[in-house]
Each structure stands twice: as structure tokens, then as C-alpha cells.
């Protein structure tokens, strides 16, 4: 059984993941942009990305931690895209 690798900061309450896991998640997202778009439409397909991350880590990562980290990363990427979109709208309104 794979042990959870997520670590918590007691002072901030934030979770931290090992660098190797973060790199595997980021690379998987980057290499599979088309699948990421499909998953944003159908979130129940997230397991496909989880499988790829587990493959990249040689099974070292806990699938639950990978799933949580993927959701965090996909949500933050979406938030950035929304912010850029809103910035563009605001700039057009100002001119």
C-alpha cells in the first residue's frame, strides 16, 4: 500500500507535496493539454490523468494525493485563464 506523501504546515494549514510529485503532475498536464480540456468538461475522467502521473512516478505516489494535486493545479490554471480573460475585457472597456 502506498503511503500518503502530502505534508501539512501546522503554522499555515497548507499542504505541500514532494517536488518529484509536483513535477510529474505539471508535466502530465502540459503533455496532455487536449485531454485536460476534455476533463474540464467531464471531470469524472480525471482518473486518466491520475494513471499517467502514477506511471511517471513509477507508482511511488498515492493516487488520492495525485488526484487532489491535479484538481488544485487544474483549478489554479483555470483561475489564471479567467483572470487574463477578465483583464482583457477590462482593458477594452477602459479604451
Q: Using alpha carbons, select from 31, 42, 34, 26 the residue that is nearest to residue 74.
A: 26
Report the distance separating Cα 84 and Cα 45, nearest Å.
26
Cell for 1? 500500500
Q: Determine, yes or no, domain membership for 1.
A: no
Task: Classify burial at 2, counting beta carbons within 10 Å of its beta carbon; exposed 0-12, middle 13-18, buried 19 or more.
Answer: middle
Give the residue, 33 or 86, on which the prediction is more confident.
33
Q: Is 35 exposed, middle or buried (0-12, 13-18, 19+ CB in 10 A)?
A: middle
Does residue 2 lie in a domain region? no
71-80 pLDDT, tens digit each: 888 886 665 5
Q: How many domains does the chain have?
A: 1
Average pLDDT, stretch 51-74?
A: 91
DSSP state of 44: G
Q: How sure is the predictor about 9, in pLDDT bands with cuts at 50, 70 and 90?
A: very low
The reply to whether 43 falls in a domain is: yes
Task: Please indicate, yes or no, if residue 28 is contained in any of the structural domains.
Answer: yes
Structural domain includes residue 26:
yes
Chain mean pLDDT for the chain: 77
| Residue 36 falls inside a structural domain | yes
Written as nine digits, the cell of 53 is 502521473
Domain assignment present for residue 66? The answer is yes
Regarding pTM above 0.75, the answer is no
Residue-number span of the structural domain to which 57 is assigned? 7-94
Q: What secondary structure letter does DSSP report for 7? A: E
Has residue 52 been placed in a domain?
Answer: yes
Q: Are 66 and 46 in contact (CB under 8 A)?
A: no
Amino acid at each position: 500500500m502506498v503511503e500518503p506523501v502530502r505534508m501539512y504546515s501546522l503554522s499555515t494549514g497548507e499542504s505541500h507535496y514532494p517536488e518529484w510529485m509536483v513535477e510529474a503532475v505539471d508535466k502530465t498536464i502540459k503533455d496532455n493539454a487536449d485531454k485536460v480540456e476534455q476533463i474540464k468538461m467531464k471531470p469524472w475522467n480525471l482518473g486518466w490523468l491520475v494513471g499517467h502521473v502514477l506511471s511517471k512516478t513509477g507508482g511511488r505516489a498515492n493516487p488520492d494525493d495525485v488526484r487532489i494535486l491535479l484538481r488544485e493545479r487544474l483549478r489554479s490554471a483555470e483561475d489564471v485563464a479567467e483572470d487574463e480573460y477578465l483583464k482583457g475585457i477590462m482593458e477594452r472597456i477602459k479604451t
